[in-house]
């Protein structure tokens, strides 16, 4: 059974007249591209969404696909009616689409979750008892924190490397020296959510396997920008979120080897995960769990979210990653060149200026509190960025050169936001005014004008200062409206 093409499959014309080359040469159409927002100084401007690393706007094609399917929505795996069977077919076809997008091997499973965080917590729950987990301190909290929730796992946190080769060497040394020699898992990001820098995933996977360990790739920031092929990278699992991949509705993916998933107790106990349930003579219940992906998908699944992910996978594949990457590199060059012209701006980096990266950059401005600067970008220029520690506290503190024990928070300080200091304030005083940074991020839906406006705004704020006064309200820096 398949969904009627005239109702639940949006036409390719929604992406630049169905020509992938045309679609890739220009920003892919996304929701919100024409939204106007008020400026505190008066008037309105088209909103420049430059916070893709947090949540990318939904692709128009994805939204159209979901809207076309919505009237046919029904329960999955549980109904005999037409809409239920159609929805089940759509759900399982989406699983196949995601598997193809990720280059899954024949025996791999694709499990649908709520997010990258959910996926990695699921994986943490199925690890064999006694597994040694190795994770760099540079990880997002989604891949840094799940492992210690179980008392029978041992976690080794690796220091931040300063080159890709140092990352491989650090992992090699840690794995070679592990005692006792048993099951081990390496968790690594594909692209940093703070610096955007690409990590040497293939080399880290080779190092892990050479020492009898498995590896999971956090592809939350990589998958929207670069192709991710499980077989080519030779990783054991990949985790990512739909909301980073231009798909709304809160769904995620864990894809990869099935053996540990099948051997473990279900992530959640409930309907859908169980094959049969029967009363035992002692009064309890005997359960036979599924061995397919359903084992870890208990409850009614997020059909809309799953279909949205599959639709996004198709749009990006049709557009062609080669063209998407080439255009994004042009945007990255514009931002980096513009920021390099402002001596007061320091771009954060682990691997140096020449490192390949996705459209994610974090920086601090001499003499500015980062929350104050981000608030001014929003209120005075209609530009949305992120400020704080980006759910990667150890990494940002390392990049800022602060002590790991220094207090810090993802937002404005308790006091009033710091004003600009005079040009020439020593870095120890200027850069360190607040233990947070500013992040600008963009992708396939970003027009050139958005990054050009951002660069212009940074230059104007640094040279002329904010045109409005600001105050701290509930931990956020906001315009003071009297």
* Contact yes or no for 218/165 (Cβ under 8 A): no
What is the 3-state secondary structure of 369-416? CHHHHHHHHHHHHCEECEEECCCCHHHHHHHHCCCCCCCCCCCCCCCC
Between 32 and 14, where is the model more confident?
32
Q: How far apart are CA 432 and CA 334, in angstroms?
A: 26
- Quick check: is 391 catalytic? yes
Q: What is the pLDDT of residue 25?
A: 62
CA distances from 71 to 2, 67, 77, 294 (A): 14, 8, 18, 25
- Tell me: pLDDT of 52 over 70: yes
Catalytic residue among 22, 391, 410, 477: 391
Mean pLDDT is lowest, of 122-126, 175-179, 364-368, 380-384, for 175-179
Q: How far apart are CA 430 and CA 368, in angstroms?
A: 7
Cα dihedral 380, 385, 391, 397 sign: negative
* Contact yes or no for 372/418 (Cβ under 8 A): yes
Nearest to 290 by CA among 258, 243, 251, 245: 258
Residue 409 confidence class, pLDDT cut points 50, 70, 90: low
Q: Residue 308 gets which letter from DSSP?
A: H
Average pLDDT rounded to a whole number, residues 187-202 = 98
Token pair for 270: 């409930």
Residue 408 confidence class, pLDDT cut points 50, 70, 90: low
Q: What is the mean pLDDT of the chain?
A: 89
* Contact yes or no for 357/195 (Cβ under 8 A): yes
Average pLDDT rounded to a whole number, residues 188-208 = 98
Q: How far apart are CA 465 and CA 463, in angstroms?
A: 6
How crowded is the C-beta side of 281, counted as CA atoms within 13 Å? 0
Size (the chain), residues: 482
Between 430 and 314, where is the model more confident?
314
Taking each helix axis from N to C end, the angle separating 164-176 and 201-210, rounded to the nearest 10 degrees, works out to: 10
CA distances from 200 to 116, 197, 233, 309 (A): 20, 10, 10, 26
Torsion (CA) 342, 343, 347, 348 in degrees, nearest 10: -170
Read out DSSP for 214-244?
Answer: EEEEE-TTTTTTS---HHHHT-SEEEEEGGG
Q: Can you give the pTM of this predicted structure?
A: 0.90
Q: What is the pLDDT of residue 467?
A: 95
Average pLDDT rounded to a whole number, residues 272-300 = 90
Q: Which residues, listed in sequence order, are joined to residue 440 by a DSSP beta bridge? A: 361
Q: How far apart are CA 447 and CA 85, in angstroms?
A: 40
* Contact yes or no for 438/365 (Cβ under 8 A): yes
Between 181 and 82, where is the model more confident?
82
Average pLDDT rounded to a whole number, residues 345-372 = 95
* Contact yes or no for 401/426 (Cβ under 8 A): no
pLDDT in tens, 321-333: 999 999 999 999 9
Q: What is the pLDDT of residue 410?
A: 53
For β-strands 252-256 and 109-113, DSSP reports them as antiparallel
Q: What is the pLDDT of residue 414?
A: 42
- Tell me: pLDDT of 426 over 70: no
Nearest to 126 by CA among 146, 108, 106, 112: 146
Between 174 and 21, where is the model more confident?
174
- Tell me: pLDDT of 308 over 50: yes
Token pair for 116: 């990258």
pLDDT in tens, 73-110: 998 987 889 999 999 999 999 999 999 999 999 999 99
- Tell me: pLDDT of 415 over 50: no
Taking each helix axis from N to C end, the angle separating 303-319 and 321-340, rounded to the nearest 10 degrees, works out to: 80
Q: How far apart are CA 430 and CA 365, in angstroms?
A: 8
Residue 406 confidence class, pLDDT cut points 50, 70, 90: low
Nearest to 447 by CA among 347, 328, 320, 336: 328
Mean pLDDT is lowest, of 46-50, 399-403, 452-456, for 399-403
- Tell me: pLDDT of 255 over 90: yes
What is the 3-state secondary structure of 157-184? EECCCCCHHHHHHHHHHHHHCCCCCCCE
Q: What is the pLDDT of residue 476?
A: 86
Percent of residues, the chain, with pLDDT higher than 70? 88
Average pLDDT rounded to a whole number, residues 291-296 = 89
- Tell me: pLDDT of 310 over 90: yes
Between 401 and 60, where is the model more confident?
60
Average pLDDT rounded to a whole number, residues 179-207 = 96
CA distances from 361 to 110, 255, 269, 275, 331 (A): 31, 28, 41, 47, 11
pLDDT in tens, 106-126: 999 999 999 999 999 999 999
Phi, psi of 303 (to 5 degrees): -60, -45
* Contact yes or no for 205/235 (Cβ under 8 A): yes
Q: How far apart are CA 78 and CA 461, in angstroms?
A: 57
Q: What is the pLDDT of residue 68?
A: 97
Q: What is the pLDDT of residue 434?
A: 56
């Amino acid at each position: 059974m398949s969904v009627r093409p005239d109702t639940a499959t949006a036409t390719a014309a929604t992406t630049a007249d169905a020509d992938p080359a045309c679609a890739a040469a220009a920003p892919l159409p996304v929701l919100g591209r024409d939204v106007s927002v008020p400026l505190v100084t008066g008037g309105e401007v088209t909103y420049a969404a430059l916070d893709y690393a947090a949540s990318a706007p939904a692709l128009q094609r994805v939204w159209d696909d979901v809207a076309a399917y919505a009237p046919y929505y029904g329960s999955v795996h549980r109904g005999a009616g037409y809409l239920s069977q159609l929805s089940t077919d759509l759900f399982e076809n989406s699983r196949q689409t995601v598997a193809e997008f990720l280059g899954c091997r024949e025996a791999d499973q694709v499990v649908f979750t709520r997010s990258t965080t959910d996926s990695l917590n699921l994986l943490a729950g199925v690890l064999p008892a006694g597994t040694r987990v190795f994770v760099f301190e540079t990880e997002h909290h989604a891949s840094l924190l799940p492992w210690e929730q179980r008392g029978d796992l041992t976690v080794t946190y690796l220091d931040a490397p300063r080159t890709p080769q140092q990352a491989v060497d650090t992992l090699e040394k840690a794995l070679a020296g592990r005692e006792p020699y048993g099951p081990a898992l390496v968790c690594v990001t594909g692209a940093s959510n703070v610096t955007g820098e690409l990590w040497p995933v293939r080399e880290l996977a080779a190092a892990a396997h050479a020492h009898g360990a498995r590896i999971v790739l956090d592809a939350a920031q990589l998958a929207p920008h670069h192709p991710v092929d499980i077989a080519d990278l030779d990783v054991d699992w990949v985790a990512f979120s739909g909301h980073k991949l231009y798909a709304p509705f809160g769904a995620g993916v864990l894809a990869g080897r099935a053996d540990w998933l099948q051997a473990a107790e279900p992530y959640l106990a409930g309907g859908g995960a169980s094959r049969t349930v029967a009363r035992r003579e002692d009064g309890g219940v005997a359960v036979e769990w599924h061995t397919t992906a359903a084992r870890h998908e208990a409850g009614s699944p997020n059909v809309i979210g799953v279909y949205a992910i599959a639709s996004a996978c198709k749009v990006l594949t049709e557009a062609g990653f080669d063209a998407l990457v080439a255009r994004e590199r042009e945007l990255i060059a514009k931002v980096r060149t513009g920021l390099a012209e402002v001596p007061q701006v320091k771009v954060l980096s682990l691997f140096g200026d020449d490192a390949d990266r996705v459209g994610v950059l974090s920086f601090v401005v001499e003499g500015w509190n980062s929350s104050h600067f981000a608030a001014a970008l929003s209120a005075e220029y209609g530009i949305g960025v992120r400020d704080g520690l980006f759910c990667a506290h150890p990494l940002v503190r390392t990049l800022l050169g602060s002590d790991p024990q220094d207090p810090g928070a993802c937002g404005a300080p308790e006091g009033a936001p710091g004003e600009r200091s005079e040009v020439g304030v020593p870095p120890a005083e200027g850069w360190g005014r607040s233990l947070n940074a500013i992040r600008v991020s963009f992708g396939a839906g970003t027009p050139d004008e958005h990054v050009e406006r951002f660069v212009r705004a940074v230059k104007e704020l640094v040279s002329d200062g904010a045109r409005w006064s600001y105050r701290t309200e509930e931990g956020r820096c906001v315009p003071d409206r009297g």
